[in-house]
């Protein structure tokens, strides 16, 4: 399979001279299996250019998996041209929102209400199916299998594992390893820690030996001290994930919008110079990177 | 047809208790930096709330692949924000009967109750009421008509007649209740609030929401009276604009003119002005309504 990173930025697109190298588009990952099946994870602003390229060969058939419906993961969908063209087949998958009692179709349609966008969801002409996924429910897309796992973020967020012809890929979506809500001297501390370890183990088992992981790494260790509970990972948390699950290659993604290319390079150099890193290959996610498996 | 005081007490007795935990959850969650640890402790100390939260998290809505076995587990699994929202929903609506045979439209009942709760809280905010106290304004609004649910649930036949009289003769509901039953919903509502050991100001606000003429009232009572009338006013204005109904417009103006002097003084502006800064009320109410649907699973 070929994995293309179409958007690697967190929170909001940041075009400009400081983001030319790593890119300013928000999250979108495009995967083409050996058989040519198209799997897209998230519809951040990076999905727009992907849509323009797909339009060169009609009809378009693809499956879009949404990790969660925060804006930076869906804001490009209204600009994904294949949605507008009759004859295209687009299957959209994601989680039902149990707190707001809204399914994926409702949330996406609300994003396209007339006060926000000139074309309504009901005017999209492609054959679109909306599918509310349950955790662990494996979806077949051609020869590939896509499986969601719920991992910690302020809203429900699915990490997706894509497997095809013996190769595997995992994207975290937005992920912050769960934190202990108790202080070490509290009675509940140990019990809570055990539950955290159990939850982390589920993730570790789920991604054990995956060839390539793209993981949320919005903050540095220092920044994280004031951003706990905001739902994002750090280099440390990504490195631990890679070590625990024997990951071959890991890409740090969801770059903070304030981060310049130069800062990304400097931070990467610092992180890579530390002792005791696992044998994983670490890279900074860069827009338009193509990974062949 | 009129009911006696013993019957009234009997109805109140049959309503389950409204736990202390509910207050604590509402107080905690009003603060934006609500501590996860405190919230978990409040839920855990209330077995019924714990069971309800776990039942919801384990329901098809969430579709989790592992069974969640404790409140801590639920927080680790789906996150503190989600559990906070689930707890508020379960806490505020869990204690009430969900349906009745009297024909009281429960969706409309909740829409109105939530609207009054939201308006009361916004008014409190506007009048500089402290954050901690604002939760009481919301709860008081949410519960001000609770007496209607008791009547509809326990004496459905009699209450149906009350509702019919209210519809046909356009008699205000609390007057129709008084005439046919001898008591109105604000009286029995206050008794329930008393049983639930809600704060005295809150009990009074339920008792007085159809009679705020007296001077020296607590701001909570004035706010609930004002919020209730604002909700009715907005409904009439909406009806007037949708159906071109001039009667509705007149009725709305009458509500505005008829506000008791203490309420008018507390509010500081006419209802027509209040309604202008409530433009996203529907959205707030919709959001809160989703919680109620969610807790409908027992």
B65-90 pLDDT, tens digit per residue, is 888 888 999 999 988 878 887 777 67
Average pLDDT estimate for A189-207: 94
> For A160-194, what is each residue's pLDDT tens digit?
999 999 999 999 999 999 999 899 998 889 989 99
What pLDDT, on the 0 to 100 scale, is given for residue A131? 93
Asked if residue B106 and residue B217 are part of one domain, the reply reads: yes
What pLDDT, on the 0 to 100 scale, is given for residue B145? 93
Instruction: Give how many domains chain B has, as a whole number.
Output: 2
- The answer, yes or no, to whether the previous bond of A59 is cis (omega within 30 of 0) is yes
Q: Residues 50..89 of A with a Cβ closer than 8 Å to B: which?
A: none
Question: Hey, are the CB atoms on B61 and A191 less than 8 Å from each other?
Answer: no
Asked if residue B52 and residue B150 are part of one domain, the reply reads: no
- A38/A90 Cα distance (integer angstroms): 10
Residue B282 falls inside a structural domain? yes
Q: Which of B59, B72, B287 sits opposite A192 (nearest CB)?
A: B72
Q: Which residues of chain B does A152 touch, with a Cβ-Cβ cutoff of 8 Å?
A: 76, 79
> For B4-16, what is each residue's pLDDT tens digit?
888 888 877 776 6
Average pLDDT estimate for B211-240: 86
Q: Which of B40, B59, B294 sits opposite A181 (nearest CB)?
A: B40
Q: How confident is the model at residue A78 (pLDDT cuts 50, 70, 90)?
A: very high
Residue B135, pLDDT > 80, answer no
Residue B193 falls inside a structural domain? yes
What pLDDT, on the 0 to 100 scale, is given for residue B18? 57
Please indicate whether residue A36 or residue B137 has the higher confidence score (pLDDT): A36
Q: Which of B59, B63, B80 sits opposite A135 (nearest CB)?
A: B63
Asked if residue B164 and residue B238 are part of one domain, the reply reads: yes
Boundary of a domain, candidates B44, B77, B94: B94
Assign residue B151 the CATH number of its domain. 1.10.3210.10
- B128/B134 Cα distance (integer angstroms): 10
Boundary of a domain, candidates B94, B128, B155: B94
Distance from CA of A144 to the nearest CA of B (A): 21
Cβ atoms A162, A40 nearer than 8 A: no
Distance from CA of A100 to the nearest CA of B (A): 6
Residue B298, pLDDT > 50, answer no
Question: If you ran DSSP here, which 8-state letter would residue A118 be given?
Answer: S
**pTM, full prediction:** 0.67
Using the CB atoms, write b or e for B237-260: b if 16+ within 10 Å.
bebbeeeeeeebeebbbebbeebb
Question: Hey, are the CB atoms on A101 and B78 less than 8 Å from each other?
Answer: no
Q: Which residues of chain B does A186 touch, with a Cβ-Cβ cutoff of 8 Å?
A: 37
Residue B7 falls inside a structural domain? no
CA nearest to B144, candidates B101, B177, B110: B110
Burial category of B52 from C-beta neighbours within 10 Å (exposed 0-12, middle 13-18, buried 19 and up): buried
What pLDDT, on the 0 to 100 scale, is given for residue B296? 40
B80 close to A (CB below 8 A): yes
Q: Which of B36, B76, B287 sits opposite A199 (nearest CB)?
A: B76
Ramachandran quadrant class, A246 (left: phi over 0; alpha: psi -120 to 50; beta: rest): left
Asked if residue B120 and residue B47 are part of one domain, the reply reads: no
Question: Hey, are the CB atoms on A99 and B73 less than 8 Å from each other?
Answer: no
The residues, any chain, with a CB within 8 Å of residue A95's CB and separated by 6 or more, are: A66, A68, A104, A132, A133, A148, A150, A156, A157, A158
What pLDDT, on the 0 to 100 scale, is given for residue A226? 95
A177 close to B (CB below 8 A): no
Asked if residue B217 and residue B166 are part of one domain, the reply reads: yes
Residue A269, pLDDT > 60, answer yes
Q: Which residues of chain B does A156 touch, with a Cβ-Cβ cutoff of 8 Å?
A: 62, 78-79, 82
Average pLDDT estimate for A54-83: 97
What pLDDT, on the 0 to 100 scale, is given for residue B297? 37
Average pLDDT estimate for B40-46: 82
Residue B95, pLDDT > 60, answer no
Q: How confident is the model at residue B42 (pLDDT cuts 50, 70, 90)?
A: confident
Asked if residue B136 and residue B233 are part of one domain, the reply reads: yes
- B138/B195 Cα distance (integer angstroms): 19
Average pLDDT estimate for B224-239: 92
Q: How confident is the model at residue B91 (pLDDT cuts 50, 70, 90)?
A: low
Summary mean pLDDT of chain A? 95
Minimum mean pLDDT among A44-53, A238-247, B71-80: which range?
A: B71-80
Residue A108, pLDDT > 60, answer yes
Distance from CA of B297 to the nearest CA of A (A): 13
Asked if residue B83 and residue B118 are part of one domain, the reply reads: no
What pLDDT, on the 0 to 100 scale, is given for residue A46? 98
Minimum mean pLDDT among A178-182, A242-246, B230-234, B244-248: which range?
A: B244-248
Residue A101, pLDDT > 70, answer no
Asked if residue B137 and residue B276 are part of one domain, the reply reads: yes
Q: How confident is the model at residue B289 (pLDDT cuts 50, 70, 90)?
A: low
> For B191-203, what is each residue's pLDDT tens digit?
988 877 777 888 8
Domain boundaries, position B43: 19-94
| Predicted-complex ipTM score | 0.79
- Classified by CATH at the fold level, domain A2-292 comes out as Metallo-beta-lactamase; Chain A (3.60.15)
Minimum mean pLDDT among A84-93, A117-126, B120-129, B213-222: which range?
A: B213-222
- Chain B, nearest residue to A103 by Cα: B61
Q: How confident is the model at residue B216 (pLDDT cuts 50, 70, 90)?
A: low
Residue B30, pLDDT > 70, answer no
What pLDDT, on the 0 to 100 scale, is given for residue B93? 60
What share of chain B in percent tops pLDDT 90?
Answer: 21
Asked if residue B280 and residue B255 are part of one domain, the reply reads: yes
Question: Hey, are the CB atoms on A181 and B36 less than 8 Å from each other?
Answer: yes
Asked if residue B142 and residue B206 are part of one domain, the reply reads: yes
DSSP β-ladder status, A281-284 and A212-216: unpaired
Asked if residue B239 and residue B178 are part of one domain, the reply reads: yes
CA nearest to A10, candidates A179, A231, A205, A213: A231
Asked if residue B121 and residue B82 are part of one domain, the reply reads: no
Distance from CA of A200 to the nearest CA of B (A): 10
Bridge partners for A162 per DSSP:
A146, A169
Boundary of a domain, candidates B44, B59, B94: B94
Distance from CA of A124 to the nearest CA of B (A): 26
What pLDDT, on the 0 to 100 scale, is given for residue A204? 98
Residue ranges covered by each domain of chain A: 2-292
- Chain A, nearest residue to B63 by Cα: A134
Residue B20, pLDDT > 90, answer no
Cβ atoms A144, A162 nearer than 8 A: yes
Q: Which residues of chain A does B56 touch, with a Cβ-Cβ cutoff of 8 Å?
A: 98
Residue B8 falls inside a structural domain? no
What pLDDT, on the 0 to 100 scale, is given for residue B16? 61
> For B154-180, what is each residue's pLDDT tens digit?
899 999 999 999 988 888 899 999 999
Question: Hey, are the CB atoms on B65 and A186 less than 8 Å from each other?
Answer: no
């Amino acid at each position: 399979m070929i994995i293309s990173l179409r958007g690697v930025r967190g929170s909001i697109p940041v075009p400009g001279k400081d983001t030319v190298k790593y890119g300013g588009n928000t999250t979108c990952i495009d995967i083409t299996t050996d058989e040519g099946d198209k799997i897209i994870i998230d519809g951040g602003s990076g999905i727009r250019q992907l849509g323009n390229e797909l339009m060169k060969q009609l009809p378009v058939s693809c499956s879009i998996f949404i990790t969660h419906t925060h804006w930076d993961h869906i804001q490009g969908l209204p600009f994904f041209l294949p949605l507008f063209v009759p004859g295209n087949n687009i299957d959209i998958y994601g989680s039902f929102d149990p707190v707001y009692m809204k399914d994926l179709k409702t949330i996406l349609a609300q994003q396209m209400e007339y006060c926000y966008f000139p074309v309504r969801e009901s005017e999209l002409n492609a054959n679109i199916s909306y599918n509310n996924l349950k955790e662990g429910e494996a979806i077949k897309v051609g020869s590939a299998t896509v499986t969601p796992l719920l991992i910690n973020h302020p809203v429900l967020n699915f990490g997706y594992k894509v497997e095809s012809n013996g190769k595997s890929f995992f994207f975290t979506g937005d992920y912050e390893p769960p934190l202990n809500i108790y202080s070490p001297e509290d009675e509940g501390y140990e019990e809570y820690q055990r539950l955290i370890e159990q939850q982390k183990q589920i993730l570790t088992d789920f991604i054990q030996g995956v060839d390539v992981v793209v993981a949320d790494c919005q903050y540095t260790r220092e920044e994280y001290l004031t951003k706990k509970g905001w739902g994002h990972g750090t280099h440390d948390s990504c490195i631990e994930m890679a070590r625990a699950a024997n990951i071959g290659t890991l890409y740090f993604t969801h770059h903070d919008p304030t981060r310049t290319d130069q800062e990304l390079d400097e931070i990467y150099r610092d992180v890579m110079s530390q002792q005791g890193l696992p044998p994983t290959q670490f890279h900074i996610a860069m827009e338009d990177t193509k990974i062949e498996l | 047809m009129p009911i006696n005081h013993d019957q009234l007490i009997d109805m109140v007795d049959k309503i389950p208790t409204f736990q202390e935990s509910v207050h604590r959850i509402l107080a905690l969650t009003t603060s934006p930096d609500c501590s996860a640890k405190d919230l978990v402790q409040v839920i855990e100390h209330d077995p019924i709330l714990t069971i309800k939260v776990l039942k919801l998290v384990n329901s098809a809505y969430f579709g989790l692949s592992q069974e969640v076995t404790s409140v801590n587990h639920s927080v680790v699994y789906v996150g503190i924000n989600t559990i906070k929202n689930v707890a508020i929903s379960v806490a505020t609506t869990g204690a009430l009967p969900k349906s009745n045979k009297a024909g009281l439209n429960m969706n409309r009942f909740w829409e109105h109750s939530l609207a009054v709760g939201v308006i009361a809280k916004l008014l409190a905010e506007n009048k500089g009421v402290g954050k901690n106290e604002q939760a009481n304004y919301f709860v008081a609004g949410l519960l001000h008509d609770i007496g209607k649910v008791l009547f509809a649930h326990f004496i459905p036949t009699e209450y149906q007649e009350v509702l019919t009289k209210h519809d046909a003769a356009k008699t205000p509901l609390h007057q129709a209740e008084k005439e046919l039953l001898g008591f109105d919903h604000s009286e029995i509502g206050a008794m329930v609030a008393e049983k639930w050991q809600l704060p005295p100001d809150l009990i009074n606000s339920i008792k007085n929401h159809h009679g705020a003429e007296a001077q020296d009232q607590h701001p909570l009572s004035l706010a609930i009276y004002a919020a209730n009338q604002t909700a009715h006013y907005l409904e009439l204005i909406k009806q007037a604009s949708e159906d071109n109904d001039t009667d509705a417009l007149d009725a709305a103006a009458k509500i505005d003119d008829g506000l008791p002097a203490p309420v008018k003084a507390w509010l500081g502006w006419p209802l027509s002005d209040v309604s202008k800064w409530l433009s996203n009320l529907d959205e707030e109410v919709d959001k809160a309504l989703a919680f109620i649907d969610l807790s409908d699973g027992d």
